[in-house]
Amino acid sequence: MQIFEDLTFINLSHSQSITQVPDLSGAKNLRVFTLDKCHKLVRFDISIGFMPNMVYLSASECTELKSFVPKMYLPSLQVLSFNYCKKFEHFPQVMQKMDKPLKIHMISNAIKEFPKSIANLTGLEYIDMSICKGLEDLSSSFLLLPRLVTLKIDGCSQLGQSFQRFNERHSVANKYSNLEALHFSEANLSDEDVNAIIENFPKLAYLKVSHNGFVSLPNCIRGSMHLKSLDVSFCRNLTEVSELPLSIQKIDARHCKSLTLDASSVLWSKVLLLSALFR
């Protein structure tokens, strides 16, 4: 079936009558498909999960959308966006390895878990799942995705445990995560959670754990030789800070009201930028 061979771009954003996306298998060369803010959109045809040339697919702020497709293999995909689809709860099965560099945006979704086949997203570099408050677990195979460099899970308050579990399984798997940037603020992180994060992600350069309740930063942080930026602002219970690695360039410790004098002098001794510590 060769119907729309040249069709490359479709933009139907803000179209308030669209409830479903029909079969587009006749548009094999479709590369960019934008459906942002289609507030009545509830269904995608299964063909959309198998578009060989799709590079960019965005259906952000489709507030009624609960799922995309049950199965997908989009070998050219580089951007997938479902930001603020507040009812979105089902991530598709990934049928084969997708190794193109991929960014996924899914802020404020209703997703609880990912299928095991997420391990097929071997090209995944960046994923933003901030404020997915129902998200219960991230598997080790997810955290060990080879290209995953940036993980944003601000406000995902059930995920601290996943990092501790990762700690337990990880010694068996004997693999290392390549994660460089982790945003994990407002997530009820305990001392154990923070310890597990710092122990198991030695390549972290940017760590944002602001607005959490942990009391101390673990000693092992000294071994995080790549850590450049640390944000612990609004960690109102943070009392103890041990020696920080030499690599550190920026610390944000605003509103850390419980810091001991020793802890704050550790911070002062290290930082180039430390704004309004005692504000």
Partner 1 sequence: MLHPPKQEKVDYWAYSAFKKMKNLRILIVRNTLFSSGPSYLPNNLRLLDWKCYPSKDFPPNFYPYRIVDFKLPHSSMILKKPFQVHLLAIRIYKLT
* Interface positions with partner 1 (CB under 8 A): 3-24, 26, 34
Provide, rounded to whole angstroms, the least separation between the CB of residue 8 and partner 1: 5
Q: Which is nearer to partner 1, 10 or 110 (CB)?
A: 10
- Between strands 206-208 and 229-231, the pairing is parallel
Q: Which is nearer to partner 1, 23 or 136 (CB)?
A: 23
Provide, rounded to whole angstroms, the least separation between the CB of residue 83 and partner 1: 17
Provide, rounded to whole angstroms, the least separation between the CB of residue 137 and partner 1: 36
The residue to which tokens 């991929």 are assigned: 102
Q: Which is nearer to partner 1, 11 or 260 (CB)?
A: 11
Q: Look up residue 87 and give its two tokens.
A: 């009812």
Sequence-distant (6+) residues with CB within 8 A of 40 are: 16, 17, 18, 19, 64
Give the span between the Cα atoms of 97 and 40, in whole angstroms: 32
Provide, rounded to whole angstroms, the least separation between the CB of residue 247 and partner 1: 46
- Estimate the crossing angle of helix 191-200 against helix 160-173, to 10 degrees: 40
Provide, rounded to whole angstroms, the least separation between the CB of residue 140 and partner 1: 40
Q: Which is nearer to partner 1, 6 or 171 (CB)?
A: 6
Provide, rounded to whole angstroms, the least separation between the CB of residue 39 and partner 1: 12
Q: In terms of C-beta distances under 8 Å and separation of at least 24 residues, what long-range contacts does 223-226 make, across chains too?
A: 224/198, 226/180, 226/202
Q: Which is nearer to partner 1, 2 or 269 (CB)?
A: 2
Q: Which is nearer to partner 1, 4 or 234 (CB)?
A: 4
Q: Which is nearer to partner 1, 32 or 181 (CB)?
A: 32
Provide, rounded to whole angstroms, the least separation between the CB of residue 55 and partner 1: 14
End-to-end CA separation in angstroms for the chain: 66
SS3 content of the chain, % helix, strand, coil (to 5): 20, 20, 65
> What is the secondary structure of 183-242 as a DSSP string?
E--SS---HHHHHHHHHH-TT--EEE--S----EE-GGGGG-TT--EEE-TT-TT--EE-
Provide, rounded to whole angstroms, the least separation between the CB of residue 65 and partner 1: 14
CB 156 within 8 A of CB 128: no
CB half-sphere exposure, 248, CA atoms < 13 A: 23
Q: Which is nearer to partner 1, 27 or 259 (CB)?
A: 27
